[in-house]
Amino acid sequence: MRQARLLVCAWALAGVGASGATLADLDRYEAALAKNADDLRAGSEYRQAVIQLKQYDRCIKFFEELVAKSPQAANAYLNYGFAYVDKIPDAGAITQVILANTALSHFSKSIELRPSWIALYTRGNSYLYWPKIFGKAPLGVKDLEEAMKMQKQDKLRSYHVRAYISLGDGYWKMDDLEKARAVWQEGAKLFPNEPRLKDRLSRSGEELAKYIDETLDPNKRVDTNLHELWEDQ
Amino acid sequence: MTGRVVLAAAASAGLALLANGVGERWFEDVTARAGITHQHTNREFKNPYAHIMAGYTALGAAVAVADYNGDGFDDFFVTDSAEGGKNRLYRNNGDFTFTDVAEAAGLAAGNDAQNASADALWFDFNNDQRPDLLVIRFGQNQLFENLGNGKFRDVTRTSGMLGYKNAITAVAFDYDRDGWVDVFVGSYFQPVNVFNPETPRFFPESFETANNGGGVTVYRNNGDGTFTDTTEQAGFRLTGWTLDMGHADADNDGDEDLYVACDFGTDRFFVNNGDGTFTDITEKAIGIDTKKGMNVDWGDFDGDGLLDIYVTNITDDYMREGNFLWRNNGDLSFADVSRETDTYNTGWGWCAKFFDYDNDGWQDLYVVNGWVSAGKESYVPDIFEMITRPNIELADARNWPPMGSKSLSGYQKKRLFHNEGGAGFKDHAARHGVDSVRDGRGIGVADFDNDGRLDMYVANANAEPYFYRNTLPPGRNWVQFLLGSPKANRFAIGAQVRLTSGGRTQLSFVNGGNGFAAQSTNRVHFGLGKNEKIDQVEIRWPSGAKQTLENLPPNRIYRVLEGKPKAEILIAKASQK
Task: Give the torsion sign (CA, B202, B206, B208, B210).
Answer: negative
Which of B321, B378, B381 comes nearest A93 by C-beta? B321
pLDDT at residue B459 is higher than 80: yes
Average pLDDT over residues B280-290: 97
To probe the interface with A, which of B209, B263, B289, B290 has the most A CB atoms within 10 Å? B290
Output the average pLDDT for chain B.
94
| pLDDT value at B477 more than 70 | yes
Lowest mean pLDDT of A58-72, A205-219, B261-275, name the range.
A205-219
Nearest-neighbour CA in chain B from A96: distance (Å): 9
pLDDT greater than 70 at residue A3: no
Out of B319, B378, B380, closest to residue A93 by CB: B319
Enter the pTM of the model. 0.91
- Calpha distance B136→B151 (Å, rounded): 19
What was the pLDDT predicted at A125?
97
What is the C-alpha to C-alpha distance for residues B347 and B369, in angstroms, rounded to an integer?
6
What is the DSSP secondary structure assignment for residue B43, as one 8-state letter? P
pLDDT of residue A15: 55
Calculate the alpha carbon distances from B574 to B26, B66, B67, B448 in Å: 19, 16, 14, 9
Backbone angles phi, psi at B64, to 5 degrees: -135, 125
Q: Is A131 on the interface with B (CB under 8 A)?
A: yes
Q: Mutating which of A88, A90, A94 best tests the B interface, going by the most B Cβ atoms within 10 A? A: A94
The ipTM is 0.80
Per the CB < 8 Å rule, is A94 touching B380? no
Does the pLDDT value for residue B21 go beyond 70? Answer: no
Domain that holds residue A178: 23-231
Quick one: average pLDDT of B398-423?
Answer: 96
Task: Find the mean pLDDT for residues B244-256.
Answer: 98
Whole-number Cα distances in Å, B424 to B302, B364, B496, B505:
9, 10, 24, 19
Read off the pLDDT of residues A108-120 as tens digits, 9 standing for 90 and up. Answer: 999 999 999 999 9
Residue B54: band (very low, low, confident or very high) from pLDDT cuts 50, 70, 90: confident
Any idea which of A136-150, A155-169, A214-228, B266-280 has the lowest mean pLDDT?
Answer: A214-228
CA distances from B396 to A108, B145, B204, B243 (A): 32, 39, 8, 21
On whether residue A40 sits in a domain, the answer given is yes
What's at B437, amino acid-wise?
Answer: V
Residue A192 lies in a domain: yes
For residue A17, is it within any domain? no
Side-chain half-sphere exposure of B350, counting CA atoms within 13 A: 32
Residue A219 in any domain: the answer is: yes
Flag whether A1 is in a domain: no
Residue A216 within any structural domain of the chain: yes
**Contact residues, chain B, for A218 at CB < 8 Å:** 320
pLDDT at B371: 96
Query: What pLDDT, on a 0 to 100 scale, did the predictor assign at position A16?
Result: 58
Instruction: Compute the distance between CA of residue B284 and CA of residue B281 in angstroms, rounded to an integer.
Output: 6
With cut-offs at 50, 70 and 90, classify the pLDDT of residue A5.
Answer: very low
What HEC string does B351-368 produce?
A: EEEEECCCCCCCCEEEEE
**Residue A38 pLDDT exceeds 80:** yes
Q: Into how many domains does chain A fold?
A: 1
Question: Chain A residues with CB inside 8 Å of B289's CB?
Answer: 92
What is the Rg, in whole angstroms, of the alpha carbon atoms belonging to chain A? 17
> B55 pLDDT band (50/70/90 cuts)?
confident
Provide the β-strand partners of residue B132: B123
Closest CA to B36 of B425, B459, B334, B347: B459
The answer to whether residue A88 sits within a structural domain is: yes
Contacts of A217 in chain B (CB under 8 A): 320
User: Residue B576: pLDDT band by 50, 70, 90 thresholds?
Assistant: very low
| pLDDT band with cut points at 50, 70 and 90 for residue B9 | very low
Q: What is the pLDDT of residue B508?
A: 98
Question: What does the pLDDT read at residue A232?
Answer: 77
The whole-chain average pLDDT of chain A stands at: 91
Instruction: Name which of A95, A98, A133 is nearest B317 (Cβ-Cβ).
Output: A133
Q: Region A206-226: what's the mean pLDDT?
A: 92
At B370-396, the pLDDT tens digits run 999 999 999 999 999 999 898 999 999
- Helix (H) / strand (E) containing A172: helix A161-173
| Burial label, A18 (beta-carbon count in 10 A; 0-12, 13-18, 19+) | exposed
Cβ of B208 and A217 within 8 Å? Answer: no
User: Could you give the dihedral angle defined by the CA atoms of residues B12, B15, B19 and B21, in that order, rounded to the nearest 10 degrees?
Assistant: 120
Q: What is the CATH number of the domain that holds A56?
A: 1.25.40.10
Q: How far apart are CA B409 and CA A153, in angstroms?
A: 45
Which chain B residue shows the shortest CA-CA distance from A132? B317
Asked whether the predicted pLDDT for residue B123 surpasses 80, the reply is: yes
pLDDT at B16: 40
pLDDT value of residue A6: 36
**For residue A126, is it within any domain?**
yes
pLDDT > 90? residue B349: yes
Maximum Cα–Cα distance across chain B: 83
Q: Return the SS3 of A58.
A: helix
Q: What percent of chain B has pLDDT over 90?
A: 92
What's the pLDDT at A218?
Answer: 83
- Does B575 score more than 70 pLDDT? no
